[in-house]
């Protein structure tokens, strides 16, 4: 990893790490805003996931805030250091969804409150987009899907080339066999003629 990439990643991850530490150590500050999101998501998850897993879905907003904080700290550290870089960016993207939901004002909020919340909403939306792009970044190297497709095409070309070689070899073998058969037929005809002459000479 180049120095420029390390610095850029560290700058990007620093915000998430700082916010994650705050969420883990002081979840009560963010819990009231997160309540609007978690009160809707928690029942939905409990209905969707299997029954044995539904019991582990957190119901308290503070637990959700702490979980998002841990994801931000771990994801930020992974992304900044390059150890599990894309997985770390994916954790940041998932945590950004909660951050964006928390920053959204209520539908019935006054225009002044909505205007005051707009910069934070736009910031969280931008960070979410950046985290998604970071999760897709392959550092200029081909993706796994491209490499798999490329390998399949190369294998297909090699198989076709081998098939052509086999076809050419079979054609050449058939031609050699045909020549040998013709040669043997000629020899057989000559031998038959010679034998016929000898028989005629003997009879005469």
* 43 and 93 belong to one structural domain: yes
**Domain endpoint, select from 141, 162, 178:** 141
* 107 and 159 belong to one structural domain: no
* 94 and 51 belong to one structural domain: yes
- C-alpha–C-alpha distance, residues 12 and 15, integer Å: 6
* 116 and 159 belong to one structural domain: no
* 129 and 60 belong to one structural domain: yes
- C-alpha–C-alpha distance, residues 45 and 67, integer Å: 15
Residue the block writes with tokens 């209905």: 47
- Express as a percent the part of the chain with pLDDT over 90: 8
The total domain count for the chain is 2
Written as tens digits, the pLDDT of the chain (204 aa) is 578 888 888 898 999 999 899 989 988 888 887 887 788 888 888 888 887 887 788 888 888 888 889 999 999 999 988 888 888 989 999 888 888 888 888 777 788 878 888 888 898 899 888 888 888 877 656 655 656 676 777 677 777 777 677 777 777 877 888 788 777 777 777 777 776 676 666 665
* 114 and 167 belong to one structural domain: no
* 52 and 106 belong to one structural domain: yes
- In terms of residue numbers, what domain contains 174? 142-204
């Amino acid at each position: 990893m180049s120095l420029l990439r390390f610095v850029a990643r560290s700058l990007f991850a620093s915000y998430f790490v700082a916010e994650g530490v705050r969420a883990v150590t002081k979840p009560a500050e963010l819990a009231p805003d997160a309540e609007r999101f978690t009160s809707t998501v928690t029942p939905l998850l409990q209905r969707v996931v299997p029954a044995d897993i539904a019991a582990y879905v957190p119901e308290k907003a503070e637990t959700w805030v702490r979980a998002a904080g841990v994801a931000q700290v771990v994801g930020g550290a992974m992304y900044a250091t390059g150890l599990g870089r894309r997985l770390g960016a994916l954790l940041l993207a998932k945590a950004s969804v909660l951050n964006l939901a928390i920053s959204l004002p209520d539908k019935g909020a006054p225009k002044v409150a909505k205007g005051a919340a707009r910069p934070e909403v736009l910031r969280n939306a931008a960070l979410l987009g950046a985290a998604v792009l970071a999760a897709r970044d392959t550092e200029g190297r081909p993706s796994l899907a491209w490499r798999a497709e490329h390998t399949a095409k190369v294998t297909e070309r090699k198989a076709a080339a081998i098939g052509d070689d086999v076809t050419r070899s079979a054609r050449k073998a058939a031609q050699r066999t045909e020549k040998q058969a013709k040669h043997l037929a000629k020899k057989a005809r000559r031998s038959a003629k010679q034998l016929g002459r000898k028989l005629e000479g003997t009879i005469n």
